[in-house]
Structure 1
């Protein structure tokens, strides 16, 4: 087909505009629509299926048997049409029958047609129908034809909605009674408790007109909206209250990069060229983005796409004149914000005196909004399903992200229990804060080193707030995760120097960049050979860094320069065999020699350590231990590798216990072997931040923990109430003849000996 996508779509839309303007019954309009599309695309079949009473009903067709209209019905997920609607995806097949979801309906007479292409008709982010074309000859439809179909489908959604041909949203029929209490679970993104009324971040913007009367007028409206949006972003960035040089500057810089992205504005212009209004063009590009997001397995790249979605929503509000977000209208009460997802700039618009918490349908730990919310001290619960079905505007909510739950329209008893827990939590935090200056020494006089895990500049304040002994794990990859491009060596050096200066005399252990797996970077092609089936066990961490040694060399120079005049502790992640540690250490030493030859000031000492996360490394500790200055056990990855259980899998996350004999015996062997070799061992991971599990680790002989800052107080309290020698004796007895788990005997022992377990 020689036409461009824009010209092809415009030709169809011009004719559709005439049809929609006529005073005809809706069925007659749909009959005309399939003729127009079929003729324009030179396609022998064009059919429209609409969602009614939960089924996709054939409503109009050119080319299939007319007696099948209003007779042929498909469930969501049934056949090619049902698959398109269920997955909100496009299909383009040269031989329809070869697709695994193909379902033949004899009443349609479609057996002689081979090629098939279909696109979803989308209304308010869900498929309400399908537009499909078919051809006798096997052929894939050209990209230009698919683009035209997708644009036409958007206009169709307006026509069928206005004619009341599709089901309502369905939310009303399944919503609980507004007075009934409800409870929902999610995923903790930012820890904390909050109470407030539900406020939806963004009222839906209804696009009244999709077909443009004058393309140039629509283009001018979009240009003006872009200018206004960029001004808003610039003002917001200049007013951000986080100080200079932090990760939030990098977050907003990435956000601004999207706002000025020429590719995005070009795609909107192309949609206007096809005959859409400014609003419809923005929504058309946004639909494409959403469809791409559904196809992306890379969690980090999906997070970055959410930033673009946030900007699209902002642009759409400006161009439509519907500017009333909850932030712009103002919060009148203590509020908990509800959203599918948020961009960082949108969160910054809210009054922090009134904003008490955030609940997201989506969200992840590495999303920009999570980083900003953590800095604001706002608890966030993510991945809460059916949020719009369960919650209505103005509902009272009790958010407890530490328990990964939200109570909706709570009863008086629920409110009383929540407030009691909140008071206890506040009192405990105050008590833990008083331990800031206390040293974590057991009751029998053994000093335990309690350090924090960090990765952001904001985390550094926790050193003084908690009285931690230092930073046992600084995750250098966080700087890479919040950047739009690979951080330059000088930016890395400044961050590392800031960290060392904030720590003062306290030690800092820098883990070299651990990317790949679930922390893939969109600007780094980490999987040249295709998608990894098991990314956590794939090309990541030290494996990636040794292959991409330019990345590691730049980081090595940045760390060495930042550590000038100090002791520098370097730790390599996911070491599987001793030769990998040797290669990494040699790379660092080569960079040290290179810098020294150029007169750069050097660290007084560089201490090299390894993370034990891969069980294979435990079998060659006799080879590794003489080479290293310290060993850190990463319990998060180690646990999933030992049990062959993905810690992110909902059915497996709670199945395998950290206090299982298999884990504890494994750790005991490692600790004993390292002690014999005179190599200090630390645990850095969630296990060390839980009082009962940390108690077990101390019972194995581990006396160095690196944990989340919020856990320092509870762990100090536990340590100061503990008789270490007595616990070590008890652990030896339990491990000799263990049951399924040591959780019960440890808990009973803690109660008997009055151990403080927060």
Structure 2
């Protein structure tokens, strides 16, 4: 990146000196703004210098040197109207040798600007929003030099502080600057965890608020930047050398490019030159970042656009480092109902937040199979993912209405949107209240069939929900959560203590522990699961495949579970079993540990029951070969669906393409249900399908009698079961299986409504 001309530094320093004197002077806001335009115009030898500020939703001419004085507080432009409106709306710099040549040019006769040809304007930015525009004009048609543009941008940064300072602005400006309203936005995304929430936007990585732009001690600011560069570069070096990235591949080139930017001397030199002009370290970084944005927008190159993201990320990282604001919003604490905004989140990061105040999450990225999605679902926190540019549209503390059920988030909603949302929220709360009344009632159909309704769990906080929901037990305890949220591999003692706590909390209710399902799309940062990147991690080296190859992991977990269940029944389930020998080897690991503990005179479980997850369709072909040693079987509908349809659930294009009510899924489950009944194998379902009333109705009609679902789904499923005549439902499902209608979901829904089945 080219070095800054020394003349630019001198010009900017002269402007800052003049503005600092104006800040310290006495007088009202209008007089100070008049002095500001005079100072800037003289510093860059501009014939016209004008300041527009936002008030009542429009840009109003507040001060000028060179235009008609009568136009002040008279000339007003809407956001996007004219060149000034274009700059404010797009938060972008313009530099034109002939203003009238721009498609957004508008002539305002009251200003007397007809004799001026050249035009330059820069946005006055506060919290990444334009609160005004600083403009310059010349009679002769010429483009302003880079030195002049940089001087305008530096002046605009200081003006932002002046305008927003309580000591500077009078009431009529202060109120406007503080209450900018860019209007409501309706943003769409991908449904990751259903639910609705209202709250204020909080950034997971909070933006650094630059409170002071003018430096008191230039050398001290320079030292702060040098120190921040050293820290940031050390972080980048550590990140790029981490073992889990593997060796070779496209990611290495990306990381090396990122590292190259971090060490770019041109970038650091420009920041130092901005400090020389009199800016603080934070303002200097932001100043160079603004200039980089302006230059990059002028280049129509997709590759450079990608590099722009790298530069933005590095500049933000450097800003957080130099300001000392490295912590996430969780570490700083939440003040009120919050909707968290982030590019992406890890499971441990989500768990750091106060669940009482965190009402929802909006991610710029995110996928259905990410561990944060699984944990958020367990916590009952709605998540909307794949919301592009959310961090550019939303400001800190904006009011948000999150409706993941409809795949939308409303930013700064109007009264009518808010009223409709509140009505929906109230209806949801009434339903929850009605469901809570079913807590102590059994899930029995109208024709007397008892259905077992368990919950899925994996966190310590989930245990309280067992009694709160009135569930029959825990049908799936995801033991990998303990591994996902830990900084290092949990030891045997820690695992034993945790599993014992789970069993103690469950009391007489059964708990099925699934052995760790890690690897593939659930990598552990401290566990190198593979030497190379997998093209299809969902079908890769994960779950029982890792457990059997790295058997030390399974041995430790087996011993911990057996010790924790001393004197009690232990239910163990192995994930992603594809063939009988995998189940047999996993069971042998547990039996070996049981014999070892028996030899150590340790108290053993009263019984160990062994089960398997049916996620890989191949297992369904071998059930008769395992019937004598398989105590129970649980269908994992999430993975089963993607394997049956060869459709990656983490791919947004495919996430909702295949329906659980398709004939292929219904017929497969019907066959498995019949085989399990014939072979005497207890059958359950522990995927999302069982937590949706209509889909659960189909499962019951297919012969499933045991459901394990999210805690939030227990009430709706109990209500559905208690309103259902199962005999009639089985007949309807048999008809759907036989006739295979084009829309089986619609057919079953119509039948359910006709028979007054409660679908929530």
CA deviations 1:318-337 (Å, max 9, x no partner) are 389xx998997996x86645
Between stretches 413-422 and 509-518, larger displacement belongs to 413-422
* 2:621 is the alignment partner of 1:625: no
Deviation of 1:669 after TM superposition, in Å, equals 0.8
Residue 696 (structure 1) aligned to one of 691, 695, 698: 698
Under a length normalisation based on structure 2, what TM-score does the superposition of the two structures give?
Answer: 0.62
Q: Which residue of 1 aligns with 2:323?
A: 317
Query: What SS does the corresponding residue of 1:554 show, helix, strand or coil?
Result: helix
On the 8 A contact 2:514/2:573 being kept in 1, the answer is: yes
Say whether the 8 Å CA contact 2:192–2:367 is kept in structure 1. yes
Aligned Cα root-mean-square deviation (Å): 4.8
Report the Cα distance in structure 2 between the residues aligned to 1:566 and 1:344, rounded to whole angstroms: 31
Structure 2 unaligned residues grouped into runs of 5+: 14-86, 91-126, 129-145, 158-179, 233-260, 273-279, 290-302, 304-312
* Partner residue in 1 for 2:492: 489
Alignment of 1:125-164 (within 5 A): none
Find out whether 1:735 has 2:741 as its counterpart: no
Q: 1:749 to 1:387 in 2, by over 3 A?
A: same
- Distance across 1 between alignment mates of 2:685 and 2:753: 25
Do the aligned partners of 2:690 and 2:699 also contact (CA within 8 Å) in 1? yes
Q: Give the equivalent residue in structure 1 for 2:608.
A: 606
Aligned to 1:407: 410
Q: TM-score, normalised to structure 1's length? A: 0.62
> Deviations along 1:48-69, whole A, 9 cap, x unmatched?
xxxx9x9xxxxxxxxxxxxxxx
CA distance in 2, matches of 1:748, 1:343: 41
1:457 to 432, 457, 460: 460
Supply the distance in 2 between the matched residues of 1:702 and 1:377 (Cα, whole angstroms). 25
CA drift at 1:449: 0.2
Q: Give SS of 1:519's match.
A: coil
Whether the 8 Å contact between 2:367 and 2:650 is mirrored in structure 1 is no
Q: CA deviation at 1:545?
A: 0.8
Deviations 1:424-474 (A, max 9, x none): 111110111110000000000000000000111111111011000000000
CA distance in 2, matches of 1:158, 1:695: 71
Mapped partners of 2:718, 2:678: distance in 1: 27
Alignment correspondent of 2:638: 636
Q: What SS is found at the alignment partner of 1:564?
A: coil
Aligned-partner Cα distance in 1 for 2:489–2:333: 38
Structure 2 residue 595 is matched with structure 1 residue 593: yes
- Distance in 1 (CA, whole Å) between partners of 2:687 and 2:315 is 33
Alpha-carbon distance change, 500 to 384 in structure 1, aligned in 2, over 3 angstroms: same
Q: Would the aligned equivalents of 1:454 and 1:474 in 2 still touch at CA under 8 Å?
A: yes
Change (3 A) 1:699 1:325: closer
C-alpha distance in structure 2 between counterparts of 1:600 and 1:453, whole Å: 30
Aligned CA distance change for structure 1 residues 466 and 642 (closer, same or farther; 3 Å): same
Rounded Cα–Cα distance in structure 2 between residues aligned with 1:526 and 1:282: 43
Shift of 1:608: 0.4
Counterpart in 2 of 1:468? 471
Structure-1 separation of matches of 2:698 and 2:690: 9
The whole-number CA distance in structure 2 between the counterparts of 1:311 and 1:389 is 17
CA distance in 1, matches of 2:328, 2:628: 64
Aligned residue-pair number = 546
Q: 1:615 to 1:311 in 2, by over 3 A?
A: same
Cα separation, partners in 2 of 1:600 and 1:158, compared to 1, 3 Å: farther
Residue 517 (1) aligns with residue 529 (2): no
How much does 1:523 deviate?
Answer: 1.4
Q: 1:569 aligns with which of 571, 574, 592?
A: 571
Among candidates 580, 584, 590, match of residue 582 of structure 1 = 584
1:531 to 527, 530, 533: 533
Report the CA distance shift for 1:618/1:319 in structure 2 as closer, same or farther (over 3 A): closer
- Deviation sequence 1:351-374 (CA, Å, 0-9, x none): 988775553434578989889988
- Higher mean C-alpha deviation, range 664-673 or range 370-379: 370-379
**Contact between 1:212 and 1:218, CA under 8 Å: does it hold in 2?**
no
Closer, same or farther: CA 346–447 of 1 in aligned 2, 3 Å:
closer
CA 1:569–1:311: 2 relative to 1, 3 Å: farther
Question: Displacement of 1:282 after TM fit?
Answer: 13
2:369–2:649 contact (8 Å) kept in structure 1: no
Instruction: State the partner residue of 1:479.
Output: 482
1:557 CA displacement: 0.7
Determine the structure 2 residue equivalent to 1:673.
Answer: 675
Q: In structure 1, what is the Cα distance between the partners aligned to 2:315 and 2:370?
A: 13
Classify the secondary structure of the residue corresponding to 1:576. Answer: coil
The offset of 1:384, in angstroms, is 2.1
Q: 1:385 aligns to what?
A: 388
Change (3 A) 1:708 1:160: farther
Structure 2 counterpart of 1:447:
450
Decide which structure has the larger Cα Rg and report it.
2
Alignment of 1:194 with 2:200, yes or no, is no
Counterpart of 2:755? 753
Structure 1 gaps, min length 5: 1-11, 26-51, 55-123, 126-156, 169-176, 227-266, 288-294, 296-305
Decide whether the 8 Å contact of 1:205 with 1:317 is kept in 2. Answer: no
Q: Tell me if structure 2 keeps the 8 A contact 1:186–1:382.
A: yes
- Change in CA separation of 1:225 and 1:369 when aligned onto 2, cut-off 3 Å: farther
- Per-residue CA deviation, residues 178-237 of structure 1 (Å, 9 max, x unaligned), is 5754321234566543334556673445697999957995499779999xxxxxxxxxxx
